[in-house]
Amino acid sequence: MAENLNVNIVSPSGEVYSGEAISVQVPGSLGQMTILPKHAAILSSLSKGTITVNTPHGENTDFVIESGFIENVNDSLTIIIENILEN
């Protein structure tokens, strides 16, 4: 069993999501992408779209965002967003 991603989604009004995930789909500025465990270190800006966090329990959590940034280093994934349009 591969290790999971450690996901933190942070906004100015606090932590929006914090927990483990099998994979995370984000609307990268160059197109939709999916981050899986052992992904190379990446820092990307995000455009308008939906972030989907797939938890180990088989649940999906969606966040609709306007813009943001994602950083992933050693399976620790941080997404910062200024505001969430919809949860």
Nearest to 49 by CA among 6, 3, 84, 10: 84
Where in 35-64 is the site for other proteins (CB under 8 A)? 40-45
Q: What is the CB neighbour count within 10 angstroms for residue 48?
A: 12
Kindly state the number of chain residues that form the binding site for other proteins, as judged by CB under 8 A. Answer: 23
The correct pick among 12, 57, 86, 87 for binding other proteins (CB under 8 A) is 12
Query: Hey, is 82 helix, strand or coil?
Result: coil
Among residues 48 and 60, whose Cβ is nearest to other proteins? 48
Please state, in angstroms and rounded to a whole number, the distance separating the CA atoms of residues 43 and 34: 13
Q: Contact between 71 and other proteins (CB under 8 A)?
A: yes
Residues that bind other proteins (CB under 8 A): 10-15, 28-30, 40-45, 67, 69, 71, 73, 78, 80, 82-83
